[in-house]
Amino acid sequence: MLERVPLLVKDLAPYEDDAGADAIAELRALAEPFRGARVLHVNATAFGGGVAELLGTVVPLMRDLGLEAEWQVMHGSDEFFGVTKSIHNALQGADVPWTLEMQDAYVDKLRENALAFEGEWDFVIIHDPQPAAILAFLEQAAINRRGSAKWIWRCHIDLTDANERVWEFLRPYVERHDASVWTMPEFVPASLEMDRVVLIPPAIDPRSVKNLHLDQPFVDEICHQYRIDTHRPIMCQVSRFDPWKDPVGVIEAFRIAREQVPGLQLLLAGSMATDDPEGFHYWELAEKARAGDPDITMVSNIQQVGSVQINAFQRAADVVLQKSLREGFGLTVSEALWKGRPVIGGQCGGIALQIREGEDGFLVDSVEKCAARAAELLTDPARADAMGGNGREHVRERFLSTRLLADWLRLFADLSG
Q: Quick check: 387 pLDDT over 70?
A: yes
Number of domains in the chain: 2
Asked if 250 and 344 sit in the same domain, the reply is: yes
Q: Does 123 share its domain with 45?
A: yes
Say if 210 falls within a structural domain.
no
- Kindly report the CATH number assigned to the domain that includes residue 277: 3.40.50.2000
Output the pLDDT for position 148: 87
Compute the average pLDDT of residues 98-115: 96
pTM of the model: 0.92
pLDDT value for 143: 53
Render pLDDT for 298-351 as a digit per residue (tens, 0 to 9): 999 888 899 999 999 999 999 999 999 999 999 999 999 999 999 999 999 999
Sheet strand arrangement including 361-364: 296-300, 265-270, 234-238, 319-322, 343-346, 361-364
Residues 70 and 8 in one domain: yes
Position 208 in a domain: no
Q: Is residue 227 part of a domain?
A: yes
Does 258 lie in the same domain as 120?
A: no
Average confidence score pLDDT of the chain: 95
Residue 105, pLDDT > 90, answer yes
Domain with 221, as residue range(s), is 216-398
Question: Residue 202 above 90 pLDDT?
Answer: yes
**Other beta carbons less than 10 A from residue 390's beta carbon:** 18
Instruction: Count the neighbouring beta carbons within 10 Å of the beta carbon of residue 199.
Output: 12
Helix, strand, or coil here: 95? coil
Mean pLDDT along residues 198-216? 97
pLDDT at 54 over 70: yes
**Residue 275 pLDDT greater than 80, yes or no:** no
Q: What integer pLDDT is reported at residue 379 of this predicted model? A: 97
Arithmetic mean of pLDDT, 168-189? 97
Query: Does 358 have pLDDT greater than 80?
Result: yes
Give the largest Cα separation in the chain, rounded. 69
Q: What stretches of 140-243 show up as alpha helix (H) in DSSP?
A: 164-175, 216-225
